[in-house]
Structure formats: C-alpha cells, structure tokens
Structure 1
Amino acid sequence: MKIKYDKETDAIYVILSSDKIVESEEKLRDVIVDYNDRDEVVAIEILNVKENQHEIELPLILKSA
C-alpha cells in the first residue's frame, strides 16, 4: 500500500494494488474509488483534504460495486 498527498490538488491517494484501473466511482462527496477488471478496489482518492472534513467508513467504501 502507498499513500500519496498532492498539495497542488489537495488530494490524498491511497494505492492498494498495482492493477490497472478500469472503473472509477464517486462513493461519497470528494471520495473516489478505483476498481480493476474484477471489481476489486485498487485505490481510493480523497479530494479537498484541507478544505473539508471527511468521515469515511472504510468497510462501506471498500465494498465492490
């Protein structure tokens, strides 16, 4: 797992797998989940980290589409 922060876009990117991303879905406002071709979570992106407080329940976010 890798966690990256981009201060230019104010986003945190949590990379769970090196699999190719085939689909992305905004699960919550400013929370985007990326999936591989087996509907497994590959990464989670959280936008506007400094601007907004985010409460994320990972079990709900990590469930496949």
Structure 2
Amino acid sequence: MKLKIDQQADALYLALSEAPASRSEEISPGIVVDYDDQDRVVGIEMLYLSKRAPKADFHRLLFETVPEIA
C-alpha cells in the first residue's frame, strides 16, 4: 500500500495494489476510485486536497491499525 501526496496537483492517491487500473469512477465530487480488470479497487484519489483539509500538515502523517475484535 502506498500513499502519495502531490502538492502541485493538490491531490492524494492511496494505491492499494500494484495492479494497473483498467477503469476509474468518480464516486463523489473529487473522489475517484480506480478498478482493475477484475473490478477490484486498486486505488483511491482525493482531489482538491487543500480545500478538503486546509490546516492539515501532510509532512506529518499518523497511521493507526485498529485491532481486530475476536
């Protein structure tokens, strides 16, 4: 899994797989989901990042894994 922030494009891309995207769908304004040829999600793009999170410091990211409930 890779997270890429492109400040010039004002976008964030979360790659969930190394598989190439065969199609994309804008599921909400500025939110694009990429699918592979088997219709699995391979990536999610968020456009207009500075407007969606104007005070966010993207040089400092926190990742958290939620524990499984048995």
TM-score after normalising by structure 2: 0.72
User: Partner residue of 1:56?
Assistant: none
User: Partner residue of 1:42?
Assistant: 42
User: Gaps (5+ residues) in structure 2?
Assistant: 54-70
Structure 1 residue ranges (4+ consecutive) displaced by more than 4 angstroms after TM superposition: none
Map 1:2-41; keep pairs closer than 5 Å: 2-41=2-41
In 2, Cα distance between the equivalents of 1:52 and 1:41? 22
Identity of aligned residues (%): 42
Query: Which one-letter code corresponds to 2:29 in the other structure?
Result: R
In 2, Cα distance between the equivalents of 1:20 and 1:46? 18
Query: Between Structure 1 and Structure 2, whose CA radius of gyration is higher?
Result: 2
SS at match of 1:27: strand
User: Gaps (5+ residues) in structure 1?
Assistant: 54-65
TM-score after normalising by structure 1: 0.78
In 2, Cα distance between the equivalents of 1:52 and 1:4? 16
Over the residues paired in the alignment, what is the CA RMSD in angstroms?
0.9
